[in-house]
Structure 1
Amino acid sequence: MWVYYTIAVVLFSLLNVGSTDYIGAVVEYQPLEGPTVNTTLEENLKNYIYHIEQAKALGAQIIVFPEYGLTTLVDDPEEYSIPVPNVGTTNFTNEAYVLLKLSNAAFEHNIYIVANLLERANASDSNTTYYYNTNVVFSSNGTLVARYRKMNLYNEPKLTPGTENAIFNTDFGTFAVFTCMDIMYYNSSQAVLENTGVTDVVFPTAWFSHFPFYMALSVQQGYALANKVNLLAANVNLPSRALGGSSIISSDGTILRRILTDVSSNNIAYATLKPPSSSSRNFALMGFDIFRNETRQPLSNFANLTYFEYDKFNYKPVNLSSENVTEEICHGDFCCNFNLVIARNGTSNTSEVYKLAAFKGQMTYLNKTELPIRICTLLGCVNDEISSCGVWPRTAYTTLFRQMTVWGNWESAQPDQFIRPTGIRGDWEPLYNATYLENKTNETVGASFNVTRPTNNVVSFGLYITGSASVAQVSWFVVVFMIFVFGGF
């Protein structure tokens, strides 16, 4: 009898929306470009209002729009830029038309609105004008409650980087906001979470996906998993340029909704989110997958980009004829351990090639910034050449991994070092049924990333570490102890 009671309680807890639960919405949007700056802004703003009305009809309390959605991906910010008043402004009668319309829409529909625009501001002590990539957040009463200027610019030479984090409070959570490339840097994606009580993150982005480590949905999932926060990520929709992939992810890393299409279109997704303290991984671990019955079409019109400095890594081949593979892979004194359980019921293709790879050193991140990066990863390879590893496979890999685990423990964790789990399939999907555990002390940091659902067509699966810390290997005893206490295979 108690079994049926337990099931009833579980189902009720899933369906019941508590006072701090909320419904969030994200819009993957393809910006329209008109004949003039004003028509471009007006047409896109008109579409924004439509999606706001749509979100409110779905019960959403907050809606997030992508980076560059109002302006298109312009090179010169001057014509599109507007002044943005201070946080706390309530009357936008004398402000830019865009701000007035967004404020009015937030008030009329009783919804928080997160939008991205180009801002201009004059220096107080000179005649210099600065231009910023700026997110604005309007509360449900129309007040400007946050203004965030993007810190880590990417191909935006005429913009000035911001210097301040942004947080706003609602009656359903404390939110941080940052933009696109910021998610890959300590400031502001990690710094904004420290001792701030942030429970949720809104993330406007114009993200160009690159195999194998910088795919939109993989990066989004890795951030939510590592930091135990709810994430609402809204991407621009330009699949022919590798732009696309939006999601709503709970604080346990479960992808509640995602938008992934190679069709030029505007799409809205919404989901109910719970406070991080009440989220549970149990259902993901039991095999629940909301996309299990969804038809996944090949993304033939989504641009296929790869950024992978393959010649810098050390490699070790994976023996696919073995049912259980446990291996260590190192690059210098940086080492990780893998445990792979491979299906032996005829679903594994031993002619396919998988390799373990590790790297520690300086890497030019997406051809822009040289960063200290450490990566340990499982990679699918089209053939035995290392240059074929981590690329999009034109023919899906059939090797079925029943379980995958990667873990490590390292010394000298610095404040600005952080770890992200990373993984992607050949159909652009992240790895579902994933768990991530991390343990930090004053001397060491340890991490374990585990995927429990049988998965094929795996392109990459591993840990991505960045920051200025000097990392040295800890003894095997400490690694085993960390896995025993904090999880793993």
Structure 2
Amino acid sequence: MVYSQPHVYATIFALSVLKACALDSYIAAVYEHSVILSEDTKIPVSPEDALMLMNKNMDVLKGAIKAAALQGARIIVTPEDGIYGWVFTRETIYPYLEDIPDPQVNWIPCTDPDRFAPAPVQERLSCMARSNAIYVVANIGDKKPCNSSDPKCPSDGHYQYNTDVVFDSEGKLVARYHKYNLFVTETQFDYPKEPEFVTFNTSFGKFGIFTCADILFHDPAVVLVSKLQVDTVLFPTAWVNTLPLLSASQFHSAWAMGMGINFLSANTRNSSLDMTGSGIYAPNGPRAFHYNTETENGHLLVVELSSHPRLSPTYPIAVNWSSYATSIKRFSPDDRNFSGVIYFDKFTFTELTKPEGNRTVCQKDLCCHLSYRMVEKQEDEVYVLGAFDGLHVVEGEYYLQICTLLKCKSTNLKTCGQPVATAHTSFDTFSLSGTFGTSYIFPEVLLTGVQLAPGEFQVLSDGRLISQNGTSKPILTVTLFGRWYEKDPP
């Protein structure tokens, strides 16, 4: 095809405009929300009562969205279950659900609320986005009718999905994602038949979205980053903190670093379920994070991020996670090893009996090497080096390879691996590495009070997680958390 000269000039002009409009950075926001809950989720309510509860939560979210927009935020993420709560049955969640159309319908609920079935929640979220000129990410429930010709159609005649929605700054629905890896307690929802890989483009980068437990599995999380090359992942979650290795800020920050992307994580706040920990994370460390166990208040985080982190001069170097560990001899004999349990997984531990030294502990094909020097080791505190190489089988099945330095709950070695939130022993230096069989490793450093350590450690290209100048606070854990997706059961 031969284009006319005016057509060529018009194309060049359009590309120039797009380039000029593209932003090198943007301001992001996440809101940790203390959800207003139903008094009894086992008793069905009317659609009117359901909407009344959801409006109470959306009243709070409206304030957070406005505050974020006033600080220049282009996008805000709100938590999973943030509009109606959790622990429903199929029957009792139904009044809270709306039929959410495919975004290809090009719909702005705020200006055209009657185009589809009644959708007051989508309408209100759309108006929040439009009136504040900000992208709004929220988690609601989707319902889809089905019939007997579909062999997987539930007996009540409809599918129910845990669903993320995104409305752009004009209020248009631009993304809809059905959660694929449901948590074991989410019996009110159905699994989508296939994982969905949802992305959308903006003038400030390419975005992908998934929810809570999705982060533990290959689909859709790894595909979005590795194959679809998103710049930023949006992550509504209702994450129960699980120390010592899976507290929210700890693991989500590590995942962002290990995958090399921006990660916007909005958690709920609920003390009875130990839910807190939200953050805005970049490939080279957290930009802002929040962990609060003192009050039930919500909390807004707002910070600037690179739109295209892979193009940033500070983008982390490529890492061969097993290079160093496979090149050296084992540091120490294994004659003092013992077993302990972390989140149902049986680790092999060795105690750090001296204030400094070199230790190795192995399990199956994984050997973990540690060099360290403590500062004023406390007599009533015990630290161990642990290794786990195996299939995790509780609340989901997935294959792990983990090397971890951690503080035990007490001087009794049987407590090693149990949750602990405070420590008094500092480390002047540490270097942790492992003979990993996977390249998906997430580096974690967690300090006393369940706080992160931005800028206080680094990952070397040969796979060592090191700190040469110590950390600002005593250490709870230093971990290389590996996921070997190829070994997951079908």
**TM-score category of the 2 structures, normalised to the smaller one:** 0.7 to 0.9
Contact kept? 2:76, 2:136, Cα under 8 Å:
yes
Matched, 1:147 2:202: no
1:470 Cα deviation (Å)?
A: 6.1
Letter in 1 for 2:79: P
CA offset digits 1:12-33 (Å, max 9, x no partner): xxxxxx9321111111101223
User: What percentage of aligned pairs have identical amino acids?
Assistant: 27
Matched, 1:369 2:396: yes
Structure 2 residue aligned with 1:111, among 123, 131, 134? 134
Contact kept? 2:345, 2:392, Cα under 8 Å:
no
Specify the alignment match of 2:474 in structure 1: 457
Specify the alignment match of 1:157 in structure 2: 187
Q: Which consecutive unaligned segments of at least 5 residues does structure 1 have?
A: 1-17, 283-305, 440-445, 472-489
Letter in 2 for 1:29: H
Matches within 5 A, 1:183-198: 183-198=215-230
Matched, 1:79 2:129: no
Specify the alignment match of 1:357 in structure 2: 386
SS of the aligned residue for 1:447 comes to coil
Specify the alignment match of 1:255 in structure 2: 287
Matched, 1:320 2:320: no
Alignment partners' CA distance in 1, 2:121 and 2:487: 47
1:351 Cα deviation (Å)?
A: 4.9
Specify the alignment match of 1:422 in structure 2: 444
1:468 Cα deviation (Å)?
A: 4.5
Q: CA 1:307 to 1:100, structure 2 compared with 1: closer, same or farther past 3 Å?
A: farther
Alignment partners' CA distance in 2, 1:22 and 1:229: 14
Alignment partners' CA distance in 1, 2:51 and 2:420: 43
1:375 Cα deviation (Å)?
A: 1.4
1:311 Cα deviation (Å)?
A: 7.5
Q: CA 1:136 to 1:310, structure 2 compared with 1: closer, same or farther past 3 Å?
A: closer
Q: CA 1:58 to 1:279, structure 2 compared with 1: closer, same or farther past 3 Å?
A: farther
Alignment partners' CA distance in 2, 1:145 and 1:115: 12
Specify the alignment match of 1:59 in structure 2: 72
SS of the aligned residue for 2:131 comes to helix
Q: CA 1:408 to 1:435, structure 2 compared with 1: closer, same or farther past 3 Å?
A: same
Specify the alignment match of 1:48 in structure 2: 61
Specify the alignment match of 1:482 in structure 2: none
Alignment partners' CA distance in 1, 2:211 and 2:345: 31
1:240 Cα deviation (Å)?
A: 2.7
SS of the aligned residue for 2:126 comes to helix
Letter in 2 for 1:198: V
Structure 1 residue aligned with 2:213, among 181, 188, 202? 181
Q: TM-score, normalised by structure 1?
A: 0.78
Alignment partners' CA distance in 2, 1:314 and 1:34: 44
CA offset digits 1:277-304 (Å, max 9, x no partner): 226389xxxxxxxxxxxxxxxxxxxxxx
Contact kept? 2:390, 2:401, Cα under 8 Å:
yes
CA offset digits 1:166-219 (Å, max 9, x no partner): 111110011111111111111122121123221111110000001111101101
**Higher gyration radius (CA):** 2
Q: CA 1:467 to 1:190, structure 2 compared with 1: closer, same or farther past 3 Å?
A: same
SS of the aligned residue for 1:202 comes to strand
Letter in 1 for 2:187: P
Letter in 1 for 2:412: E
Matched, 1:168 2:200: yes
Specify the alignment match of 2:250 in structure 1: 218
Alignment partners' CA distance in 2, 1:309 and 1:53: 39
Contact kept? 1:133, 1:150, Cα under 8 Å:
yes
CA offset digits 1:86-107 (Å, max 9, x no partner): 1133242124011111112212
Specify the alignment match of 1:301 in structure 2: none
CA offset digits 1:424-456 (Å, max 9, x no partner): 2331113332556487xxxxxx73323455234
Q: CA 1:91 to 1:431, structure 2 compared with 1: closer, same or farther past 3 Å?
A: closer
Q: CA 1:310 to 1:40, structure 2 compared with 1: closer, same or farther past 3 Å?
A: closer
Q: C-alpha root-mean-square deviation of aligned residues, in Å?
A: 2.6
Matches within 5 A, 1:255-404: 255-274=287-306, 275-276=308-309, 277-278=311-312, 280=314, 308-309=342-343, 312-322=346-356, 325-343=357-375, 347-364=376-393, 367-393=394-420, 396-404=422-430
Alignment partners' CA distance in 2, 1:250 and 1:311: 29
Q: TM-score, normalised by structure 2?
A: 0.78
